[in-house]
Amino acid sequence: MITLTGGARRDCMRIRRSHNLGVAEARNRADRVAADLQQQFSLKSRWEGNALHVKGNGVSGQLQVDDTHFELNVKLGFALKLMEGPIRSVIERTIDEELA
């Protein structure tokens, strides 16, 4: 199942994906997603529980994992908000490749 929404807030990009990996493997895959996004967007990441917090120039958010879902909520700064479509595509492709 794939769910894409704009999130509850208009300034937040939300991407949600279902998986059947369990929490431990989902965290491993989230680390690989974060490493890929770090290369592409110069993001830093850190874990707090099952939430991987990401931060970079003009972007902040978190990737929450549990035993059945990945949910990414990201707030883009004004300049990056103008490029939300291409940014969303890259992030979706990266997550989808890791969950395949």
Is residue 11 scored above 80 in pLDDT? no
- pLDDT (0 to 100) of residue 91: 92
Domain ranges of the chain: 2-99
CATH architecture of 2-99: 2-Layer Sandwich (3.30)
- pLDDT (0 to 100) of residue 10: 60
Q: Average pLDDT of 73-99?
A: 92
What's the whole-model pTM score? 0.81
How far apart are alpha carbons 2 and 71 in whole angstroms?
11
Buried b (16+ CB within 10 A) or exposed e, 59-85: bebbbbbeeeebbbbbbbeeebeeeee
How far apart are alpha carbons 34 and 57 in whole angstroms?
15
The residue ranking higher by pLDDT, 53 or 5, is 53
Task: Please write the tens of the pLDDT for every residue from 13-31.
Answer: 999 999 999 999 999 999 9
Is residue 5 scored above 70 in pLDDT? no
User: For residue 87, which amino acid is it?
Assistant: I
Going by DSSP bridges, is the β-strand pair 2-5/12-18 parallel, antiparallel, or unpaired?
A: antiparallel
Task: Please write the tens of the pLDDT for every residue from 44-85.
Answer: 999 999 999 999 998 999 999 999 999 999 999 988 889 999
pLDDT band (50, 70, 90) for residue 37: confident
